[in-house]
């Protein structure tokens, strides 16, 4: 009795339905939904009742692409698992899937254990891991099978960053063949890094050192080329493929063409590509460095193709690629040489709100918002229906969302551990009000009531989006 919580009077929105229903929670899970005002719902009692009148009741967000504490360019992403998952909770995200990193010359096991240790006891919301493969060899391939058994069922490969994370086509093909056997899902950073490095060198030799040249050398065609190549390699291997952080319209076209052939090829984009552009990269006084990430921001014209892809399901997921670096002391490492600016943008706290704004603006429907931000990422990465929906048996990861509140995004009010907001001054209609993680209230009427260590590691099954 004492562990029962009741959410009354809200509009429950999932990827499938919008219903005025009361939600009964017991021992951290949803046990039942019943029509608001029905005899069944009226008969329910609970230790705690949350009034959700005039609010949405949403599944907690699932952000399938974060990089807490990522080592990059001689520094570390500025959010720890503690600060980053707290910010996630503030923004209505109750599960993150972060990337454990294999270092060159080391095993997957070592990399994964390092990431377990970073996260253990520190997270405010639940977390899972993908594994970055930086050194594909016989040993690594064998280890992939073990990781799939352990609930690490997806592997990121890089066609970019030669000398750091880069894999060549042979390594990529081998990893794809292995994943075709063991059920793992290959996630691809699709940019032709070898060609990009030539263009970087040539740009710097011409004295083109400002942040905006980051966007010019990382050409859309080189994203499209790598996307095309990754698709063909996956086809040869007989493996499904998930392309991360798609930003170029030409890359969306490659995904759409593959999907039209019936291939199991999936694409993710991120809020920064939907809302920001090369105009931001061109901001004067080195301010453009705040917007340096890879794939890069594109000219505004690309945004329409991304929104369209999200509507037509040629793109299935919106994740943040949250990888914050402070302007002072971190982004500044690249003054005088854009190639030394650490790559990445903050955003884990902003994703649910920005996508609600997309609903308000008419880009996507309310249910599609929940599909791309909660249900599909959970299905894609083997967390459904524990995560990503509100249904009997699901974890009670629930957001009470006020669709009428108006807020202004700002570094002054956000909770991410970074000294700027990529969306400074942007007005959003809608705001997270209360958040439950496995039935525990972690944000209560816009007060943080959670704690580091509440969030637990969540092993994943293999991709559930294929069947
Ligand atoms: O710029 C980015 N995206 N930084 C994080 C690493 C990656 O490639 O996802
Ligand atoms: Zn209303
Ligand atoms: Zn990447
Ligand atoms: Zn990333």
Q: How many CB atoms lie within 10 A of CB 181?
A: 14
In tens, the pLDDT along 393-413 reads: 999 999 999 999 999 999 999
For every residue of 308-354, DSSP letters joined together read HHHHHTSS-EE---B----TTTTGGGGTT-GGGSPP-B--TTTHHHH
Q: Kindly state whether residue 393 falls inside one of the protein's structural domains.
A: no
| Per-residue pLDDT at 189 exceeds 50 | yes
Q: Give the number of the ligand closest to the Cα of residue 130.
A: 4
User: Which of 294, 341, 348 best tests ligand 1's pocket when mutated (most atoms within 8 Å of CB)?
Assistant: 294
pTM (two decimals)? 0.98
Alpha-carbon distance of 152 to 230, in angstroms, equals: 21
At 2, the pLDDT band (50, 70, 90 cuts) reads low
The predicted pLDDT at position 436 comes to 98
Q: Give the number of the ligand closest to the Cα of residue 190.
A: 3
Decide: 174 and 136 in contact? Cβ < 8 Å: yes
Residues 422-433: what's their mean pLDDT? 98
| Per-residue pLDDT at 213 exceeds 70 | yes
| Per-residue pLDDT at 204 exceeds 90 | yes
Residue nearest to atom 7 of ligand 1 (CA): 294
Decide: 111 and 102 in contact? Cβ < 8 Å: yes
Decide: 416 and 343 in contact? Cβ < 8 Å: no
* Closest by CA position to 352, among listed 97, 90, 11, 124: 90
82 by Cβ neighbours in 10 Å (0-12 / 13-18 / 19+) ranks as buried
Burial 324-352 (b: 16+ CB within 10 A, else e): bbbeeebbbbbeeebbebbbbbbbbbbbb
Residues 118-137: what's their mean pLDDT? 98
Average pLDDT score, the chain? 98
Q: Kindly state whether residue 92 falls inside one of the protein's structural domains.
A: yes
> In this prediction, what percent of the chain has a pLDDT beyond 70?
100
Decide: 182 and 144 in contact? Cβ < 8 Å: yes
CATH of the domain at 119: 3.20.20.140
Q: Kindly state whether residue 194 falls inside one of the protein's structural domains.
A: yes
Interface predicted TM-score (ipTM): 0.92
Q: Kindly state whether residue 99 falls inside one of the protein's structural domains.
A: yes
The predicted pLDDT at position 3 comes to 87
In tens, the pLDDT along 264-308 reads: 999 999 999 999 999 999 999 999 999 999 999 999 999 999 999
| Per-residue pLDDT at 1 exceeds 90 | no
Q: Kindly state whether residue 69 falls inside one of the protein's structural domains.
A: yes
Cβ < 6 Å from ligand 1: which residues? 67, 189, 245, 293-294, 321, 323, 343-344
Alpha-carbon distance of 459 to 467, in angstroms, equals: 20
* Closest by CA position to 293, among listed 254, 245, 359: 245
Q: How far is CA 185 from the centre of its chain?
A: 16
Alpha-carbon distance of 264 to 276, in angstroms, equals: 29
The predicted pLDDT at position 156 comes to 98
Q: How far, in Å, is the centroid of ligand 1 from the Cα of 188?
A: 11
Alpha-carbon distance of 64 to 261, in angstroms, equals: 26
The better pLDDT of the pair 84, 3 is held by 84
Q: How far is CA 447 from the centre of its chain?
A: 24
Decide: 376 and 15 in contact? Cβ < 8 Å: yes
Q: Kindly state whether residue 308 falls inside one of the protein's structural domains.
A: yes
Decide: 70 and 447 in contact? Cβ < 8 Å: no
Overall size of the chain counted in residues = 467
The predicted pLDDT at position 445 comes to 98
| Per-residue pLDDT at 106 exceeds 60 | yes
263 by Cβ neighbours in 10 Å (0-12 / 13-18 / 19+) ranks as middle
* Closest by CA position to 61, among listed 8, 126, 123, 154: 126
Alpha-carbon distance of 280 to 212, in angstroms, equals: 9
Q: How far, in Å, is the centroid of ligand 4 from the Cα of 70?
A: 9
Decide: 232 and 346 in contact? Cβ < 8 Å: no
In sign, the C-alpha dihedral spanning 334, 245, 429, 85 is: negative
The predicted pLDDT at position 7 comes to 98
The predicted pLDDT at position 467 comes to 72
User: Which of 67, 84, 161 best tests ligand 1's pocket when mutated (most atoms within 8 Å of CB)?
Assistant: 67
The predicted pLDDT at position 193 comes to 98
Helix axes 169-182, 138-149, angle to 10 degrees: 30
* Closest by CA position to 382, among listed 130, 125, 190: 130
Range of the domain at 276: 60-380
Alpha-carbon distance of 389 to 379, in angstroms, equals: 10
Q: Kindly state whether residue 370 falls inside one of the protein's structural domains.
A: yes
Q: Kindly state whether residue 456 falls inside one of the protein's structural domains.
A: no
> In this prediction, what percent of the chain has a pLDDT beyond 90?
99
| Per-residue pLDDT at 242 exceeds 70 | yes
- Report the number of distinct structural domains present in the chain: 1
């Amino acid at each position: 009795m004492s562990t029962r919580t009741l959410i009354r009077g809200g509009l429950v929105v999932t990827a499938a339905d919008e219903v005025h229903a009361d939600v009964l929670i017991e021992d951290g899970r949803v046990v039942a939904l019943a029509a608001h005002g029905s005899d069944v719902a009226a008969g329910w009692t609970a230790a705690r009742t949350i009034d959700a009148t005039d609010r949405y009741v949403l599944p907690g967000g699932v952000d399938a692409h974060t990089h807490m504490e990522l080592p990059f360019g001689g520094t570390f992403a500025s959010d720890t698992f503690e600060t980053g998952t707290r910010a996630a909770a503030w923004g209505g995200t109750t599960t993150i899937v972060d990337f454990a990193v294999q270092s060159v010359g080391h095993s997957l096991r070592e990399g994964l254990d390092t990431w377990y240790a970073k996260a253990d006891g520190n997270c405010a919301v639940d977390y899972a891991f993908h594994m970055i493969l930086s050194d594909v060899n016989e040993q690594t391939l064998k280890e992939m099978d073990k990781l799939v058994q352990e609930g690490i069922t997806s592997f990121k490969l890089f066609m970019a960053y030669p000398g750091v994370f880069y894999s060549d086509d042979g390594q990529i093909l081998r990893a794809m063949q292995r994943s075709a056997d063991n059920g793992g899902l290959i996630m691809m950073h699709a940019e032709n890094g070898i060609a990009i490095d030539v263009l970087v060198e040539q740009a710097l030799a011409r004295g083109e050192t400002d942040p905006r040249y980051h966007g010019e050398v990382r050409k859309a065609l080189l994203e499209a080329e790598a996307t095309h190549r990754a698709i063909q390699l996956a086809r040869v291997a007989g493996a499904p493929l998930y392309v991360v952080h798609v930003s170029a319209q030409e890359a969306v076209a490659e995904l759409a063409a593959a999907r039209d052939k019936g291939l199991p090829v999936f694409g993710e984009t991120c809020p920064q590509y939907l809302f920001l552009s090369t105009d931001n990269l061109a901001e004067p006084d080195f301010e453009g460095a705040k917007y340096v990430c890879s794939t890069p921001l594109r000219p505004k014209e690309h945004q329409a193709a991304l929104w369209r892809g999200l509507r037509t399901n040629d793109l299935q997921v919106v994740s943040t690629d949250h990888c914050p670096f402070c302007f002072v002391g971190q982004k500044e490492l690249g003054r005088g040489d854009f190639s030394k600016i650490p790559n990445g943008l903050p955003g884990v706290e902003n994703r649910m709100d920005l996508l609600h704004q997309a609903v308000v603006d008419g880009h996507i429907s309310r249910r599609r918002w929940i599909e791309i931000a909660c249900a599909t990422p959970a299905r894609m990465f083997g967390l459904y229906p524990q995560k990503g929906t509100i249904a009997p048996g699901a974890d009670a990861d629930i957001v009470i969302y006020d669709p009428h509140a108006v807020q202004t995004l700002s570094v002054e009010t956000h909770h991410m551990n970074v000294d700027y907001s990529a969306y400074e001054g942007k007005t959003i209609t809608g705001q997270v009000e209360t958040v439950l993680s496995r039935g525990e209230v972690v944000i209560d009427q816009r007060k943080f009531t959670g704690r580091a260590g509440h969030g637990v590691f969540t092993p994943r099954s293999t991709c559930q989006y294929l069947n």
